[in-house]
A and B are shown apart, each in its own frame.
Chain A
């Protein structure tokens, strides 16, 4: 799921609903689509939380590890 893309689609749906002459069927279809997109975005926001990572370098490679903050 691409959050930004979903938001863009939702915005387009809103624009259509507000500015275009649509039949009831078309409106309901757009509403159904919007409902799915909204749910996906909402679930995404519930789960989304970024991690703080640090690159650990070895001689020839590197890996990501959880960053544990050290004060000066």
Chain B
């Protein structure tokens, strides 16, 4: 019987390892199974998933997920199988672990929702009002996702005066929940941030899972600054939305809400100024019109008074003229005097008396020849 040349354990193990490593089809695959064991050790998570006929040992480095999963949970694990020559063992190196199936996730969501609700995390009384003055807006989202770009687009289009400050995080997958919470806590303590937008674009229920986590809910709740939640599409309803002070239907809407439109502000300022200017002009106009009116009335009054006086003067002059004896003499009448007394009756004179006759331009001395009573 022919034997092939014998090789060492190491050589075989390394050979097997290389086969696994070289197989690109095995790289970053997702596997569905039920959790059959679960242990945390040295900051790593060791677990196994199985179905009816097989079992897969898994490890997730740097993960602490014990509270989120239970034995018997149906899960979807994403990662790459690796052969460890030293232990003679195949491990599935997981980078993501999610509950599998909408029913299961939804059940968890409802459980957490009712727990947080009973603790008062959704209480409207705890919600903050939108601050009047917003100079800087903190955004907790992915550096490369749609959210930050939508927000920047809105801010740029509106020529907004506000600074947008991004705290970059990963919005999905393992550890995203903790990162989101850290971002919110960061801005809560960060100076000069007046409001916070936390969000991500649309995605599957698994993608949105970090925004349905307790750690994010509590971070939003304890945040002393105005938090706007903009997660997924309008139809998605996350726990983060429920705890936030305000829920925006989209990230763009959140940005519209918090940024002030430069053009709008300019228009409003100019309108205000125009009204003030008009108000002053109207007032000055009214006042000067009043003054003009007063002056006119005064002038009129003075004119009336003057013409009244003129009339009175003319009347008096007429009266005086009428009384002037010279005027009478001019008409051909004469004034008689006898013994320096005005002679007004035939009773006071007799024939032979001397009298003076005054005409308009001189005096005649005369002797009375005869006196006759009655005309």
Interface residues of A (CB under 8 A from B): 2-4, 7, 10-11, 13-14, 17-18, 22, 24, 27-28, 31, 34, 38, 41-42, 44-45, 48-55, 62, 64, 67, 69-72
Contact = CB atoms under 8 A, between A and B. Distances in A.
Interface stretch (B243-251, B274-282, B366-374): B274-282
A1 to B, nearest CB: 12
Given A31-B280, A64-B165, A69 B148 contact: yes
Contacts of A28: 280
Contacts of B305: none
B262 interface: yes
The majority secondary structure among interface residues of chain B is helix
Contact of B167 (A42, A52, A55, A71): A55
A4 B145 CA distance: 33
B159 interface: yes
Contacts of B166: 52-55, 67
B165 A24 contact: no
Contacts of B262: 45, 48-49
Contacts of A31: 276, 280
B164 A45 contact: no
Contacts of B165: 53-55, 64
A10 B276 contact: yes
A28 B279 CA distance: 11
B269 interface: yes
Contacts of B145: 72
Contact of B159 (A11, A49, A54, A55): A49
Q: Considering the complex of A and B, which 10 residue pairs feature the smallest CB-CB distances, nearest first?
A: A48-B161, A17-B279, A50-B162, A54-B166, A53-B165, A50-B163, A72-B144, A38-B273, A55-B167, A52-B164
A45 B280 contact: no
Contacts of B148: 67, 69
Nearest to A16: B279
B272 interface: yes
A45 B260 CA distance: 11
